[in-house]
């Protein structure tokens, strides 16, 4: 006879970190920031969660809208508004990295989240988290 084991449902977690801040819009430095957020997203996924980055939604739309450079009208129309809309759909936010204007604004919106974390270690120790122990 098989037993159904009740598994906790995954949290949808917004990984928020700097995108442009501190890069002087250098594409290599920006790519490094996205890589750091994506690395954390993979760790969260492997721990059983559904991670999201605003960049995953915004960047393809920005390109399709005809943006020619970071900070132009098409970029500004989409980049931060996408993340603000995403905030309303996520269960938690994990803030990583250094100073950043965007995520600091989201952090002020933290009352929208049931769960808020400034590090994955805090998240893995939380009673609300389903993260596997040891998720850095």
Global confidence as pTM: 0.75
Pairwise CA distance, residues 15 & 107, whole Å: 11
Q: Whose structure tokens read 């129309």?
A: 77
Expressed as residue numbers, the domain containing 42 is 14-125
> Residue 107 falls within a domain, yes or no?
yes
> Residue 37 falls within a domain, yes or no?
yes
Number of structural domains (the chain) is 1
For the segment 126-134, the average pLDDT, to the nearest whole number, is 42
Pairing of β 115-117 and β 92-95: parallel
Kindly report which listed range (26-35, 62-71, 95-104) carries the lowest average pLDDT score.
95-104
Q: What is the pLDDT of residues 73-99, one digit of tens each?
A: 999 999 999 988 998 899 998 989 887
């Amino acid at each position: 006879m098989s037993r159904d084991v009740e598994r906790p449902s995954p949290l949808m977690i917004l990984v928020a970190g700097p995108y442009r801040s501190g890069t002087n819009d250098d594409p290599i430095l920006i790519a490094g920031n996205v890589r750091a957020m994506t690395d954390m997203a993979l760790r969260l996924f492997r721990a059983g969660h559904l991670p999201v980055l605003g960049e995953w939604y915004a960047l393809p739309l920005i390109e399709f809208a005809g943006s020619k450079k970071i900070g132009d009208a098409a970029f500004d129309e989409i980049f931060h508004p996408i993340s603000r809309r995403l905030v309303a759909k996520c269960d938690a936010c994990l803030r990583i990295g250094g100073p950043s204007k965007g995520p600091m604004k989201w952090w002020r919106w933290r009352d929208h989240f049931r769960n808020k974390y400034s590090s994955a270690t805090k998240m893995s120790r939380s009673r609300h988290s389903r993260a596997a122990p040891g998720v850095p």
